[in-house]
Structure 1
Amino acid sequence: MIDELIRRSIRQMVGGGGPPIAFLSPAGDRGFFGPESIAWKVHADFVSMMIGGISSLVLQALHPKALAGVWDHSTFREDLKGRLGRTAFFIAATTYGSNEMANNAIHRVNQIHQKVTGFDEFNQPYRADDPNLLAWVHLTETFSFMSSYESYRSESLHAQQKNQYFAEMKMLGERLGAIDLPNTYDGTQLAIQHYRDQLHYGERAKSIIGLLDSFPSNLISRPFVKMITGAGFLNLPNWVYPIIHRPVPSRLERLAMRSTIRLMAIPVREALKDGVAAHSLRRVYGSSL
C-alpha cells in the first residue's frame, strides 16, 4: 500500500508506467557503461537524481540561449511532468539500456537538436546543436547529479570514483555533440565557472524557475514533490543564489533537508528496488539475480 502510494507520487512528478521490461534484453548486453561503472551507481538512486534534475534545470534556465530552445520549441511550460519524464527516460536508456537502446536515444535527441534554432531574448541566434550550449547542459546535469548524490545518498565517493563518473559521462556528452568536456570533478567545476558571464536572470528565467519552485502536483503527492523541489534548490552552488535573488542557505537548512530526505528516501528506495537498474542487472548477468 505504501509502496504503491510512493510509486504514484513519483509518476505524478515524472510520469512512468509499470516494470521496465524493455531493459531485460538482449541478454548479456552491457550497454555503454556496465554494472561496475560509477554511472550505474549514481544514477540508480532515483531520489538524488530527481533532486539533481531540479537543480540542473534551474542552472540551465540561466543561460539565455539554452533557455531559448526550451522556450520556443518545447512544451516545458505546459507539460513539465512530460518533459521531466522524457529526460528521465533518456538518462535511463543511455545509462542502463542495451547498446541499441542507448544509441537510438542519442540519435533521436541529435535529430531533434538539428531542427531547434531561433533567436534568444536578446535577439541573438542560437542552435540547439551548438557545442557550447550542449556542454553547458552536460556540465550542469552531471555536476548536479554528483552533488545531489553526495548530499543525499549517505554514501561518500572517493576522488577517484568521482573522476571516473565524469570521465564516463564525457563519452556520453561527446556523443551528443559537446566538445572539450572535462573528465574530472574539479575540471567540471572549473568549466561551469567559465559560463558565469553568459548567464542572465531575466523574465524568461524567472518564469521557468518559478514553475520549478511551484511544481504542479495533486494533494496526495504534494508533500513528496515539495520536498524534492526544495532539496533541488538547496543543491545549487552558492554562487547561484545572488543571481536568482535568494539568500545562500544556511548550514542548518542544508542539514535539516539532508536529514529529512535521507529518512524519506528509505521507503522510496524500497518501493523502487525492482526498477530499471535491477532489470538491467538481470539482462547482463541472467534472470537468476
Structure 2
Amino acid sequence: MVQTLRARLLTALSGDPGGSPAWIRELAEGDDAGHFAAGGAAWTVHGSMATLVAGIRALLLQALHPGAMAGVHDWSTYRQDPLGRLSGTVRWVVCVTYGSTAQADRETARVARFHRRVEGAYVDGTGAERSYSAGDPALAEWVHLAFTDAFLTCQQVWGEPIPGGPDAYVEEWSRAGRLMRVAEPPTTEAELRRRLRGYLERGELRGDERVREVVSFLRRPMLPGAAGIGYRLLFEGAVATIPRPYRRLLGLRRSPLPVVTGTRIVLAIAGRALASGEGKRAQDWARERLARLRQADAPST
C-alpha cells in the first residue's frame, strides 16, 4: 500500500512513477550552481511536504483574477489531464529552483512557448471587456504573487523554519518572477501581502461561474480510496489558510473541524511514503552537480 501511494504521488508530481524522469536526472548536469543556493530559502520551501497544500492554495487564489481564469478556462487541459497539467507546473518550479541556470532558462523558454498562443478576452471586475495574453506582465504578476503567498504561508503553517526567514524566501523567489517577466516582484513578506491586498481593494478579483467550476474540480478530483480522503483534508487545510475576503469570493468556508492538524497528519504519511523508496529526490540530483563543480574547482595537489 505504501509503495502504491508513493508511485501515485511521484506520478502526480513528476509524471513518472519512479520519480526520476529525464528532466529530474538533468539536475545533476550543468556548469553552474543555478539561481538559488543549496539549503537556502527556496530550496527549503520547495523541498517541503507543505508544497502539496501550497499547490492547491495557489490554484485557488490564482483563479480569482478573471484574466488568469480566462486563460485557464480557454486553454488549460486540467479537466482532461489534471496530473499532466500538475506535473508540467512542478517541472518548471523544480528546474528553476534546483537546476543549473541553463536548465532553468530552457524550462522557462518551454513555458513561454506555450504561453505565446494563450490569448483571448475576459470581463474584468468592473464589468468591462479586456483582452488578455499569458505573456502579459500584469497577469504574470498576479500568478507570481498568489504562488509566492501560497508557498510561504503553507511553509509557515506546516513546514520547518525558513533559512533567513520569510523575507528571504520572498526575495529569492522574486528571481523566478523576473524570469516570467514580472517587472518588480516583491522582495519582502510585507510587500507581498500589501500587493495582494491591492488587487482585492481595487476590485480586480471576482468569483463567478468559472471560479466555481475550478473550485468544484479542486475540491473533488478523481482520486480513489484513501488517496481521495487524504486529498480532501489537504484541500480543507489550504482553504483554512486563505484570508476571509478571498474565501468569500471563492464561495468557500473554513471547516469547523481541526483540518490544520489533519493536514499535518496527511503530510506526514505522504512524506513517509515518499521516503520509503530508494530513488533520489530533486535536491539529491542537484547536489551531485554541485559536488562535481566543487571537485572541478578544487586545487590539485
> Do both share a fold (TM > 0.5)?
yes
User: Structure 1's 73 and 177: CA in aligned 2 closer, same or farther, altered over 3 A?
Assistant: same
Q: Deviations 1:111-166 (Å, cap 9, x if unpaired)?
A: 3223221111564211111111101000100110011111112x2337x4211111
Q: Deviations 1:192-233 (Å, cap 9, x if unpaired)?
A: 011111111110110011100011213363233333333222
Please list every run of 5 or more consecutive structure 1 residues that lacks an aligned counterpart in the other structure: none
Which residue pairs with 2:5 in the alignment?
Answer: 6
1:152 aligns with 2:151: no
Which residue pairs with 2:252 in the alignment?
Answer: 246
Contact 1:13 1:225 (8 Å CA) reproduced: no
Which residue pairs with 1:105 in the alignment?
Answer: 107
Deviates more, 1:73-82 or 1:118-127: 118-127
1:44 aligns with 2:43: no
In 1, Cα distance between the equivalents of 2:85 and 2:226? 21
Which of these residues, 133, 136, 141, is aligned with residue 142 of structure 2?
A: 136
Higher relative contact order (CA 8 A, sep 6+): 1
The aligned amino acid for 2:161 is: S
Moved >6 Å (runs of 4+): none
The aligned amino acid for 2:81 is: D
In 2, Cα distance between the equivalents of 1:8 and 1:176? 31
Which residue pairs with 2:299 in the alignment?
Answer: none
The aligned amino acid for 2:143 is: V
TM-score, length-normalised on structure 1?
0.88
DSSP-derived class of the 1:125 partner: strand
Contact 1:63 1:200 (8 Å CA) reproduced: yes
Please list every run of 5 or more consecutive structure 2 residues that lacks an aligned counterpart in the other structure: 294-301
Contact 1:215 1:229 (8 Å CA) reproduced: no
Deviates more, 1:277-286 or 1:86-95: 277-286
Aligned residues: 281
Find the structure with the greater CA-based Rg: 2
TM-score, length-normalised on structure 2?
0.85
In 1, Cα distance between the equivalents of 2:8 and 2:227? 5
Root-mean-square deviation (Å)? 2.3
Which of these residues, 266, 277, 282, is aligned with residue 283 of structure 2?
A: 277
Which residue pairs with 1:55 in the alignment?
Answer: 57
The aligned amino acid for 1:6 is: L
User: Structure 1's 234 and 264: CA in aligned 2 closer, same or farther, altered over 3 A?
Assistant: farther
Which of these residues, 252, 261, 268, is aligned with residue 256 of structure 1?
A: 261
Which of these residues, 166, 170, 173, is aligned with residue 169 of structure 1?
A: 173
Which of these residues, 185, 188, 193, is aligned with residue 181 of structure 1?
A: 185
Give the percent of matched residue pairs that are identical in Structure 1 and Structure 2: 25
Deviates more, 1:212-221 or 1:161-170: 212-221
Which of these residues, 72, 75, 90, is aligned with residue 73 of structure 1?
A: 75
The aligned amino acid for 1:127 is: S
